[in-house]
Amino acid sequence: MRLELRKAKISGLQWGSPTRVEDHVLYVDKAALLEALADDRITKWDADLARPGESVRIIPVKDVIEPRVKLEGGESYYASVIGPNETVGNGVTLALDGAAVVTVGPIMAFQEGFIDMTGPAAKFSPFAGLYNVVLLAAPVENLEKHQYEEAMRVAGLKAAEWIAEQCKGAAVDETEVYEKGTVAEELAKYPDLPPVVHLCMCITQGLLHDTYVYGVDLKHCLPTLLHPNEVLDGAMVSGNCVSACDKTTTWHHVHDPVISQLYKAHGKTINFLGMIPTQESVVLAGKERASSFNARLAKELGAKGVIITEEGYGNPDTDLCMNVDKCEALGMRTVVIADEASGTDGASQGLADATPNLTAFVSCGNVNEMIEVPAMDKVIGYIESIAHVSGGAAESLRPDGSMYVELQSIIASTVETGYNRSGSLWV
């Protein structure tokens, strides 16, 4: 597969018609954008803008998506969700680098969070450094939460592709090429390099805890293999409502730093075979089944090393330990990237489960660490949501608009692919 990712750098954001990129400023036609999002489940769409350094708080956040569109090698982006049922990872993709679409709405209450565009919380989230088009939706009366989530998820993806579609003529500032053959081809090409896979654990724990691979909810799938180009080109979409700090957004999937770092080492120090996206089950039988398939698939591919990333904490820590144990039992060395829930004083056990085989651990931070954030001049969304967010409480919001919360209430503050400033893989 050969993927050419063309990046148009965005360093400004304004409303304007037509939607375009001009001198690195993204202009968005607000009326045309909202018209493109028509949905019978939503009575009213609205949109706002948030730029780096502004005194703006966005709450509660559902997902973050980078504006992207296929230029060659595909009809649409985010295949099988808003695009056709086709594989991705080949051809040419345009990305508006530095811009994002952020969806906002009280869908799952305690498993949402916030983004501050400035102040102490901003340093914990990559999204504070992006030029964000924020979508808000008022649902029809008595709309079920899963229907509200779907409407917001699809709208975010549509908006991101629609914006990029209007900007197909934007000047390209940087081009990245990702090219790698099949597993068999790469094993033949680099017989002396240790083969490595990325085992990507995804939230799949019941209603609204969903991760989609080619439009299919991963909780209904056995583990599979993806070429890394497929992940970088929109094959995986977030539909999850996990604690905000752990949320692997759709933006994170196409910017997966584990894939990027392994790609850089491919053919030099390792042989990068690909990614295995896998579920985190709510029942013991599901955990046993998935972990067994994960280890067997990695072994069948010829892996000698497995990089395991988690999503969430608590219950998924058992899946994490099972994956480590079963890979190690088959002779594959493992490295885990995850966060910790060590209590506000940092003195508690970091993971809810343990195994002596877990000997290589990269910590993305303690989700329970407390942080004080000042009031912002502007709030986009629903500030009262902090009362229900994990890491927040009714008393978190003070009369002056400041908040005292746990780190886990900040979107992606300890995200377990390592793309955060509490971890080690922010690139």
**pLDDT at position 109:** 56
For 73, the token pair is 């090698």
pLDDT at 426: 44
Distance of CA 95 to the CA centre of its chain: 16
Site of tokens 């439009």: 215
Which residues, 6 or more positions from 37, have their beta carbon under 8 angstroms from its beta carbon?
45, 135, 155, 158, 159
Question: Which residue matches tokens 């966060």?
Answer: 339
What is the Cα–Cα distance from 254 to 8, expressed in whole angstroms?
Answer: 16
Residue 414 located in a structural domain:
no
Which tokens go with 180? 């790698």
Q: How many domains does the chain have?
A: 1
Please give the helix or strand (H or E) that residue 172 lies within, else none. none
Task: Give ∠ CA 71-76-82 in degrees, rounded to 5.
Answer: 155
Q: Calculate the CA 359 to chain-centre distance.
A: 26
Instruction: Please say whether the dihedral angle defined by the alpha carbons of residues 256, 84, 105 and 47, taken in this order, is positive or negative.
Output: positive
- Is 243 within 8 Å of 340 (Cβ atoms)? no
Domain assignment of residue 426, yes or no: no
| Tens digit of each residue's pLDDT, the chain (427 residues) | 999 999 999 999 999 999 999 999 999 999 999 999 999 999 999 999 999 999 999 999 999 999 999 999 887 788 788 877 889 999 999 999 999 999 998 776 556 899 999 999 999 999 999 999 999 988 888 888 888 888 999 999 999 999 999 999 999 999 999 999 999 999 999 999 999 999 999 988 877 788 999 999 998 888 899 999 999 999 999 988 778 898 899 999 999 999 999 999 999 999 999 999 999 998 999 999 999 999 999 999 999 999 999 998 888 999 999 999 999 999 999 999 999 999 999 888 999 899 999 999 999 999 999 999 999 999 999 999 899 888 999 999 999 999 999 999 999 999 998 887 655 444 3
For residue 182, give every residue at least 6 positions away whose Cβ sits within 8 Å of its Cβ, in sequence order, or none. none
Residue ranges in 113-210 assigned as alpha helix (H): 145-166, 183-189
**What size, in residues, is the chain?**
427
Burial grade of 184 (CB within 10 A; 0-12, 13-18, 19 or more):
exposed
What residues are labeled active site? Answer: 241
Is residue 70 in a domain?
Answer: yes
Q: What is the DSSP letter of 401?
A: S
Residue reference for tokens 């990089």: 307
- The whole-number pLDDT of residue 118 equals 98
Instruction: Tell me, yes or no, whether 420 lies in a domain.
Output: no
Strand duo 209-213 + 236-240: pairing: antiparallel
425 lies in a domain? no
Return the pLDDT at 427. 38
Q: What is the pLDDT of residue 243?
A: 84
- Tokens in use for 79? 């295949």
The pair of three-digit structure tokens given for residue 404, joined into one six-digit string: 């005292």
DSSP states of 194-249: PEEEEEEEEE--STTEEEEETTEEGGGS----B-HHHHHTT-EEEEE---GGG---
Residue 401 inside a domain? The answer is: yes
Do residues 116 and 128 lie in contact, with contact meaning Cβ atoms separated by under 8 Å? yes
Task: Please give the structure tokens belonging to residue 5.
Answer: 């990712």
**Cα separation, 312 vs 289, whole angstroms:** 19
Alpha-carbon gap, residue 154 to 169, rounded angstroms:
25
Tokens of 39: 């949905």
HEC per residue, 245-257: HHCCCHHHHHCCH
For 55, phi then psi, to 5°, come to -80, 75
Q: Could you tell me the residue range of the domain that residue 293 belongs to?
A: 2-409
The pTM for the full model equals: 0.94
Which has the closest alpha carbon to 207: 278, 139, 145, 289? Answer: 145
Residue 157 near residue 250 (C-beta atoms within 8 A): yes
Q: What is d(CA 415, CA 123) in angstroms, rounded to the nearest whole number?
A: 13
State CA 169 to chain mean position distance. Answer: 27
Which among 406, 421, 411 has a CA at the least distance from the CA of 102?
411
Q: Is the CB of residue 82 less than 8 Å from the CB of residue 161?
A: yes
> Residue 1: its pLDDT value, please?
94
C-alpha dihedral sign at 125, 126, 129, 132: negative
Name residues whose C-beta falls within 8 Å of residue 387's C-beta, 6 or more positions apart in sequence. 393, 394, 396, 397
226 domain residue, yes or no: yes
